[in-house]
């Protein structure tokens, strides 16, 4: 592919014809190897303009390499996650918009990916909003200093992707990033979807039991047999959560298919729920301290507190003064 790379370097553009030529090189054996991946990254990072065919092909080929060609299929290992971040990271930010699209796509397609990869994706939005850096900030549709609909939608995609492997509850690390973004845009004219996302995500962090932990690679093959048994409706369970927002998680756990899942993992679920109840008390105190950090409650923070008041059966005492103020 060196001749194609040279042509792209000279013109600054990867065309549909270039894309078709690269596809003929990569896919005759229906397998994407590491040397081909390195060449694809080089072409993408050299181009200033990219034909839509190239974007689609790049995402397809790299998703095959990272998600569908590794055993067990659908699992991104910690080593491969580190490898990807090393390739697309420059001083903490993703180098190209295509690579950012790739990052989000593989998180959505994978059955499991390491937490640092999800946090890296969320951090790209934080960098764009707070610091005006990265491919999102270079896009004229996106505005540093506020969260618009596109940024909120991208955050929602990453958060939903993280929950798709069974880790339904928002983690402390995710909550910290969401709070960092919210603190930076507290006085801005943010899109209403940001307020909705922030409130529901943080409420989920406090209210929802953890449910499943993503299985390890060693357990994955047994998991394949379990999913193929037809005895559970995992897709429907996740779909209900996604369609109803994070408030739907509590209801989803009460649906029959969720109970079937919990019955198969009864001992593990009991331990997870007990641990979650303990963490919730601790996290309520963390949330109260975080909300008091700048001395004022933003609209998103008020929405969060109202959401907790309306949906939580047992409000922790640390939050009651703040809820009254909201």
pLDDT band for 210, please (50, 70, 90 cuts).
very low
Give 252-274 pLDDT, tens digit per residue.
Answer: 444 444 455 445 555 555 555 55
d(CA 97, CA 50): 10
Is position 13 within any domain? Answer: no
Length of the chain: 326
Is position 286 within any domain? Answer: yes
Q: Which long-range contacts (CB under 8 A, 24 or more apart) does 312-318 make?
A: 312/203, 312/206, 312/207, 316/280, 316/281, 316/284, 316/285, 318/284, 318/285, 318/287, 318/288
Is position 62 within any domain? Answer: no
Q: Residue 246: phi, psi to the nearest 5?
A: -70, -20
* Cβ atoms of 298 and 284 closer than 8 Å: no
Structural tokens at position 281: 């008390």
d(CA 177, CA 182): 9
> What is the number of domains present in the chain?
1
Is position 316 within any domain? Answer: yes
- For residue 265, count CB atoms less than 10 angstroms from its CB and return exposed for 0-12, middle for 13-18, buried for 19 or more: middle
pLDDT at 241: 41
Give me the domain span that covers residue 226: 70-325
pLDDT at 263: 56
Is position 21 within any domain? Answer: no
Is position 40 within any domain? Answer: no
Tell me which of 203 and 62 has the higher pLDDT. Answer: 62
* Cβ atoms of 120 and 93 closer than 8 Å: no
Is position 90 within any domain? Answer: yes
Residue 141 pLDDT greater than 70, yes or no: no
The total of other beta-carbon atoms located within 10 Å of residue 267's CB is 7
pLDDT at 101: 92
Is position 159 within any domain? Answer: yes
- Please report, in angstroms and rounded to a whole number, the separation of the first and last CA atoms in the chain: 60
Mean pLDDT rounded to a whole number for the chain: 76
Residue 215 pLDDT greater than 80, yes or no: no
* Cβ atoms of 199 and 307 closer than 8 Å: yes
How far is the CA of 36 from the CAs of 1, 18, 79, in angstroms? 8, 15, 19
Give 149-201 pLDDT, tens digit per residue.
Answer: 888 888 888 888 876 555 556 778 888 899 999 888 888 889 988 888 888 78
pLDDT band for 295, please (50, 70, 90 cuts).
confident
d(CA 160, CA 239): 10
d(CA 94, CA 124): 7
Residue 21 pLDDT greater than 90, yes or no: yes
d(CA 218, CA 35): 28
Average pLDDT (305-318) is 74
Give 61-104 pLDDT, tens digit per residue.
Answer: 999 999 999 888 999 999 999 999 999 998 888 988 899 999 99
Structural tokens at position 30: 């229906």
pLDDT at 139: 60
Residue 49's DSSP bridge partners are: 13
């Amino acid at each position: 592919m060196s001749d194609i790379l040279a042509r792209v370097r000279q013109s600054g553009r990867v065309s549909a014809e270039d894309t078709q030529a690269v596809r003929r090189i990569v896919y005759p054996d229906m397998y994407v190897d590491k040397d081909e991946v390195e060449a694809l990254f080089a072409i993408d990072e050299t181009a200033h303009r990219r034909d839509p065919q190239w974007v689609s092909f790049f995402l397809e080929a790299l998703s095959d390499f990272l998600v569908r060609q590794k055993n067990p299929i659908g699992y991104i290992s910690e080593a491969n996650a580190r490898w990807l971040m090393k390739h697309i990271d420059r001083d903490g930010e993703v180098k190209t918009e295509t690579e950012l699209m790739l990052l989000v796509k593989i998180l959505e397609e994978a059955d499991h990916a390491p937490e640092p990869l999800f946090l890296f994706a969320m951090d790209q939005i934080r960098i764009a909003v707070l610091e005006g850096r990265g491919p999102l900030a270079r896009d004229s549709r996106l505005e540093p200093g506020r969260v618009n609909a596109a940024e909120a939608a991208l955050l929602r995609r990453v958060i939903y992707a993280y929950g798709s492997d069974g880790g339904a509850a928002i983690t402390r690390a995710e909550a910290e990033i969401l709070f960092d973004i919210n603190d930076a845009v507290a006085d801005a004219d943010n899109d209403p979807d940001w307020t909705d996302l922030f409130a529901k995500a943080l409420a989920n962090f406090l209210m929802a039991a953890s449910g499943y932990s993503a299985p390890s690679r060693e357990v994955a093959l047994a998991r394949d047999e379990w999913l193929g048994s037809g005895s559970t409706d995992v897709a429907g369970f996740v779909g209900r959560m996604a369609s109803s927002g994070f408030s739907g998680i509590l209801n989803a756990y009460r649906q029959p298919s969720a109970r079937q899942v919990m019955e198969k993992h009864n001992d593990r679920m009991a331990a997870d729920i007990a641990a979650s109840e303990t963490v919730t008390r601790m996290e309520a105190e963390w949330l109260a301290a975080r909300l008091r950090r700048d001395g004022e409650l933003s609209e998103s923070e008020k929405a969060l507190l109202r959401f907790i008041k309306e949906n939580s059966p047992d409000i922790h005492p640390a939050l009651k003064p703040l809820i009254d103020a909201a």
